[in-house]
């Protein structure tokens, strides 16, 4: 393991004013997105759509890297260039989602999941690296309910995240460690804060136990928000303050950067929250975005399988807005002006 190379890559992934595009939807997830816009979920359409995203002129000014799904890593652009090479030629770092999804824990407890994909991962990482991937991503899913999360779910997911991260670093690949506390329930922002603290403390303990070098990784957490069905919704300033407080308590300064997931927030809120955190500042890590839905929803709608230029325009706009938010330089007026 060459820690200097890992560190350099991690630092480049959170370069000032840049963030990550999470375009790693598995075939089942992209189907849900395509269904909404009336596009058939074929390999050809997935290629056309990802080509649109990666050939958007100027998106590279705001995008440090793209998380790809395995199919896309080995797919070519419409002009015949392998996607990882196309991205690298624009100075955008190609990455790969390596987990095999969140699977139900054995019966006996409440409905919770553990993310799988460790079997054969060492060998798969070699294949992905040869194809051009320089970082990887693994997402653990923690849900909030009357009796969840349990200690079991927190423990097994933290353990798997650290196992994955250690294998990535052995292969010379920067791990994005993504423990996502879902925002789909009716919980308060206080509950989200407590659960986020719990999973982050468990994850960093496991990373230590499994000798993961913090200088060579990126954290991809949820923000501390109210559950979407909670009648009282925390405002932008409260979300920013609570998220920073929790991160300061649990994320060592050696981690180069934190790239948030959007988790189902609206495009504008995801941007506003990131901007508010960067306006607060005074933190030891870079704070940026690694959004899937909040970067792509507008582009998908504008494209709708027909209008490539409109899709590109929407993609560039959201990339630009989030790039500004990563610097704490975004304002709602910029959205209106655009
Ligand atoms: C883009 O969606 C990713 C893949 O999800 P599946 O494995 O279910 O297909 C997802 O992991 C994503 O990278 C993160 O959750 C962040 O995406 P959002 O939409 O929450 O910003």
pLDDT of residue 336: 86
pLDDT of residue 338: 80
How far is ligand 1, taken at its centre, from the CA of residue 248, in Å? 25
Beta pairing class for 102-104 and 113-115: antiparallel
Lining ligand 1 with CB less than 6 A are: 22, 24-26, 29, 67, 101, 139, 180, 261-263, 291-294
How far is ligand 1, taken at its centre, from the CA of residue 178, in Å? 10
Q: Which residues are catalytic?
A: 178, 220
Whether the link from the prior residue into 149 is cis, omega within 30° of 0, is yes
Picking from 92, 136, 63, the residue whose alpha carbon sits closest to that of residue 288 is 63
Residue pair 19/63 in contact by the 8 Å Cβ criterion: yes
Residues 114-130 have pLDDT tens digits of 999 999 999 999 999 99
d(CA 275, CA 323): 9
Q: Which domain holds residue 41?
A: 3-337
Close Cβ partners of 19 (under 8 Å, ≥ 6 residues apart): 62, 63, 64, 259, 288, 289, 290, 291, 322, 323, 326
Residues 164-217 have pLDDT tens digits of 999 999 999 999 999 999 999 999 999 999 999 999 999 999 999 999 999 999
d(CA 62, CA 232): 34
Residues 34-77 have pLDDT tens digits of 999 999 999 999 999 999 999 999 999 999 999 999 999 999 99
CATH number for the domain that contains residue 91? 3.20.20.70
**20, 34, 50, 139, best to mutate for ligand 1 pocket (most atoms within 8 Å of CB):** 139
- Number of structural domains (the chain) is 1
Whether the pLDDT of residue 277 is over 90: the answer is yes
Whether the pLDDT of residue 136 is over 80: the answer is yes
List the Cα angle 10/138/200 in 5-degree steps.
80
How far is ligand 1, taken at its centre, from the CA of residue 22, in Å? 7
Sign of CA dihedral 162, 112, 121, 33: negative
């Amino acid at each position: 393991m060459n820690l200097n190379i890992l560190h350099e890559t991690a630092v480049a992934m959170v370069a000032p004013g840049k963030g990550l595009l999470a375009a790693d939807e598995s075939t089942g997830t992209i189907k849900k997105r395509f269904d909404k816009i009336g596009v058939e979920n074929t390999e050809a359409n997935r290629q056309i759509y990802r080509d649109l995203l990666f050939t958007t002129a100027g998106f590279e000014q705001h995008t440090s890297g793209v998380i790809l799904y395995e199919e896309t890593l080995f797919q070519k652009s419409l002009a015949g260039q392998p996607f990882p090479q196309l991205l690298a030629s624009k100075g955008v770092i190609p990455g790969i989602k390596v987990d095999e999804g969140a699977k139900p824990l054995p019966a006996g407890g409440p409905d919770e999941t553990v993310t799988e994909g460790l079997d054969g991962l060492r060998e798969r990482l070699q294949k992905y690296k040869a194809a051009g991937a320089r970082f990887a991503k693994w997402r653990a899913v923690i849900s909030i309910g009357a009796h969840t999360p349990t200690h079991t779910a927190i423990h097994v997911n933290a353990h798997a995240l650290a196992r994955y991260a250690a294998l990535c670093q052995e292969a010379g690949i920067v791990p994005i460690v993504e423990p996502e506390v879902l925002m789909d329930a009716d919980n308060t922002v206080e509950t989200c804060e407590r659960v986020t603290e719990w999973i982050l403390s468990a994850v960093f303990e496991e990373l230590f136990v499994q000798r993961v070098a913090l200088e060579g990784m990126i954290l991809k957490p949820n923000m501390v928000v109210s559950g979407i069905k909670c009648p009282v919704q925390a405002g932008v300033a409260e979300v920013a303050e609570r998220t920073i407080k929790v991160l300061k308590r649990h994320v060592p300064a050696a981690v180069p950067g934190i790239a948030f997931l959007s988790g189902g927030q609206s495009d504008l809120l995801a941007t506003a929250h990131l901007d508010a955190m960067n306006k607060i500042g005074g933190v030891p890590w870079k704070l940026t975005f690694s959004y899937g839905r909040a970067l792509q929803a507008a582009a998908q709608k504008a494209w709708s399988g027909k209008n490539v230029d409109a899709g590109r325009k929407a993609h560039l706009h959201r990339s630009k807005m989030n790039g500004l938010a990563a610097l704490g330089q975004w304002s709602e007026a910029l959205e209106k002006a655009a």
